[in-house]
Amino acid sequence: MQNLPPLGIHLQGVAKAFGRQVALRAVDLDVTPGSYVALMGANGAGKSTMLKVVAGLVTPTRGTVTVGGVDMRRAGPRLRAMVGYVSHETMLYADLSGRENLSFHAKLHGLGRGTDAIDRAADRFGIGSYLDTPVRSLSRGMRQRVALARALLHDPRVVLLDEPFTGLDEAAAIGLTETLEELATPERVLMVTLHDVARAMSGPRRLLALAGGRIVIDRPLREADDDVAASYLDLLRTEVAR
């Protein structure tokens, strides 16, 4: 990893509306370096928008987002190089192979062809034998693995993963859980959106639950924290009832 200061994330009064649809409402949040945060909530709660705002892909309607003290609207290449982001979509070119996709992103990140980084990512996500297959021909789960490899290829300080377990079989999901544990180091921030309460209880150290674009639960997590899990399930029941 590059010798760079740890980066914290700070959201102040962040609101985002897409036309009349409000995705985030005056969100205040501090995420310190070393945090591993599970971001949960019902569909449409604002989880993906929050990650996009932090990644600098979406500009807030109001409020400010800073990463490492820098406003993401003014994020330069140096800061963007420290962010790794996975969205619902794979962000992969379907007619290129996994290796070509990874090599392309390695070049954009100034890693040359990225041969070593690609080999490490291939080992980590078990995609070695599929690297030369066009992405179009890969299964959903295998594409997701390549997408994760792409996002982590440059060893980012801020890791933003939007439903990273989507499409993964159980073995790959266990592997990803272990990888996220390895990545949760004091100098790194992990924010991961999840739907599965059990997964949130096995790794993340903080739970943020959103409802209607607001943070309604913000609690530290300990292993098998039944109290927090129950609070979250109550929240979901309320959301369903509404």
Partner 1 sequence: MSWIAPSLTIAGKDLRLELRTRDVIASVGLFVLLVVVMASFSFPTTGEGRDAVAAGVLWMAFMFAALLGMGRSMAIEKEDACMDGLLTSPAPRESIFLGKLTANLAFTGVVELVILPVFVVLLRLAPAGGVPLLLLATALGTLGLVTVGTLFSAIAVNTRGREAILPLLVMPVSIPVMIAAVKVTQAAFAGGTGEGTVAWVLLMVAYDALFLLVAIATFPYLTEG
Q: Provide the 8-state DSSP code for 58.
A: S
The site that binds partner 1 (CB under 8 A) totals a number of residues, namely: 30
Minimum CB distance to partner 1, residue 55 (Å): 6
Element (H, E) at 115: helix 115-125
- CA dihedral of residues 59, 60, 63, 65 (deg, nearest 10): -50
Asked if 186 touches partner 1 (CB under 8 A), the answer is no
CA distances from 87 to 23, 97, 239 (A): 16, 19, 24
Among 32, 69, 93, 234, binds partner 1 (CB under 8 A): 93
Contacting partner 1 within 118-137 (CB under 8 A): none
Among the candidate windows 54-62, 115-123, 224-232, 233-241, which touches partner 1 by CB under 8 A? 54-62
Q: Which C-beta is closer to partner 1: that of 80 or that of 219?
A: 80
Q: Which C-beta is closer to partner 1: that of 25 or that of 109?
A: 109
| Residue 181 burial by Cβ neighbours in a 10 Å radius (0-12, 13-18, 19+) | middle
Minimum CB distance to partner 1, residue 77 (Å): 4
Q: Using H for helix, E for strand and C for coil, what is the string for 200-218?
A: HCCCCCEEEEEECCEEEEE
Q: Is the dihedral of CA 67, 167, 42, 34 positive or negative?
A: negative
Asked if 78 touches partner 1 (CB under 8 A), the answer is yes
Among the candidate windows 7-15, 29-37, 78-86, 171-179, which touches partner 1 by CB under 8 A? 78-86
Asked if 113 touches partner 1 (CB under 8 A), the answer is no
Residues forming contacts to partner 1 in the complex (CB under 8 A) are 52, 55-59, 77-78, 80-81, 83, 85, 87-96, 100, 104-105, 107-110, 150
